[in-house]
Structure 1
Amino acid sequence: MAVKISEKALDHVIDEMVDVVENSKDEIFNISEGARSEYERLVRELKETKDQVIRLIDDGDQLEQRVKFSRQRLAEVSKYFDRYTEAEIREVYENTHNMQTKLAMLRQQEEVLREKRNELERRLVNLANTIERAEGLASKITVILNYLQDDFKQVNEMIVDAKEKQEFGLKIIEAQEDERRKISREIHDGPAQMLANILLRSEIVEKVYQQGEMEKALEEIRSIRVLIRSSLYEVRRIIYDLRPMALDDLGLIPTVKKYIKTVSDYNNLDIDLVVMGRDIRLQQKYEIALFRLMQESLQNAIKHAQATMIKVKLEIGSNRITMLIIDNGKGFDTQIKKDKSFGLLGMKERVEMLDGSLNINSTIGKGTIVSIQVPYIN
């Protein structure tokens, strides 16, 4: 009975969290897209306004020169009015007056357009700040799915019914990259706790050193070094998971290369990358999804399969993207639904969002092959 009550309470908490995350997702998306659309529109309007200002300046300068000549002509006619007929004098006067009036109107229009240009530039600066803040918030939310998956793997043991577990996993996927409150707690419980442990171990080193036990002090220092390395890696992982800058700046292929080199160096692992097809930038949703799929597959191969060799193949064709992740790990039985399988559910959900297919072939003791195919037309 207590378990049932706990499950109901957990479902209630999860439902509320998903609702909050979905509302936040919609709000952030609307703010970002609205600001971006307005920014693009203002950029076009600013360009048109600047072109109009330049044209008005040119027209005004030409008209001003004509007014100057007309005024000279008017002065000549006024001085020697007895040489000209009344109609000629009136014509010169009216032409001069009309050009002066038109020049004044052009200068007034130029001033109005200058003020409009300045106002547009100010609005663009404000919109750029809004877009930057929205993107910054979105990038901080990106890491949430990983934390939700890791934490709820333990909670998953409390959920008995298979259908409830499936729905639970799908709700977590729907909340991907949208929940942000938990990140601060994860940093506090992760790297912060490691640093506190390092401080405590350093005090132990000091006491052991004062007691003259040099070997024990050296052993503690080695342990501290391991803790520092783990803490540094954890901090870098959190920063990188927020959103790799290279993904926006350079695209999918350079980011994948950099990530694989980093993971390979840190884990002292042989990871072979093969890139085929066209080296082009993809739409953002494809770059993010494919990078996360590759990232999740590598983490599974390293953490769970304990692989010693991994091969990643990425092929970008004219109408399809194919990704293969092959490892020589311990493998698993794909027919057995494990409790802690939210990572695979997340991958499946990502691929389905892109109308693609995900196939996982694994044999116990013989490794795993993850095959991802996504239709794409650039």
Structure 2
Amino acid sequence: MNNLDFKQLDKIVKNTLLAVEQSKTQIFEIYEAARAEMERVNKDVERIKQEAIDIIFHVDDLEKKERRARLRLMEVSRNFNVYSEDDIKHCYDEAKNLQVSLAVAREQEQSYRRQRDELEVRLKQLKDTVEKAEGLVSQVGVVLGYLGNEMNGVVNKIESLQQSQLFGAKIIKAQEEERRRVAREIHDGPAQLMANVVFRAEVCERLIDIDINRAKQELKDLRGQVRDCLKETRKIIFDLRPMTLDDLGLVPTVKRFLDTFKGRCGAIAEIRILGDEQRLDSYVEVGLFRIIQEALNNVEKHANATLVKVVLEFRDDFVQAVIEDNGKGFDTSENVDSASFGLLGMRERINLLQGQVDIISEIGKGSKVCIKVPINKPVLS
């Protein structure tokens, strides 16, 4: 998986989470609107119910008045010789007006009943909508939390896998570069010297019977070349795997490497041992030495330092190493691991040792690498 694929996947995940979050917001807005509408409709229902009750009482009152008015009109009509024409007309108008008012009131009562029934149906629908929206908001919140955690986990795993693949590729590249370096050193050093030794041996073989003194001088020079060849070979072996690490331990190996380091870069190199020096498990000594070696190589390549201090501290449950220089430093806020196989390799080694490494640096003020590794803990596989 390349960087572009990872960026696209990360974008898809973020867009998915954003869409779910927006959906949650929209559902919540629907819930709030439905709840506000439900409260309004509930108030209308209560109002209509009260108005319906009032109109029912009003209809009952009008019915009683209209019944009395009809009875009065019947009485007046039967005794028209007793009542005047105005009395009869008044009774008739009163009864007619009451009948009209009663019809209007009954129509209003029916209208209020219909409105009440419709509002109660509407209120029930709104209650269902509010309950569903509330449930959806809760469910989407749970889903969003789950997706957020799971998606972030997936992204982190993919990112970790990508970093592992990049690290694996860099390891292969570093191995090939190391092979080329060793091959070049052997070719330019021991191989050339051995070829010269073969040539000098042939010269000595011819001179023995001709000029014994010159033959002795050639053998003396030959012995010096063999020593140089042995020295070059031992240097290559030390770089690949210091024999002193197995024979003498971490401290003598670091001291010897510092001597070589001083000869190469010309800086003053000091080492200080705190606590009781002790032999560690082989994998711990190898891992610590490689981390210290890489830190010093970084100082040599990039720091332009004139003074380097190495402190090794031995405790009962851990060993600590501090490599400090007075070089040009760098900005630790930048992602230096992605560009530096050395720093990435240091972190990978420290993870295998279940330890920790802190890199403190500031431009113009040098750098400090603090390494802490627990003792007597099994190495991670």
Same fold (TM over 0.5): no
Larger Rg: 2
Q: Give the structure-1-normalised TM-score.
A: 0.43
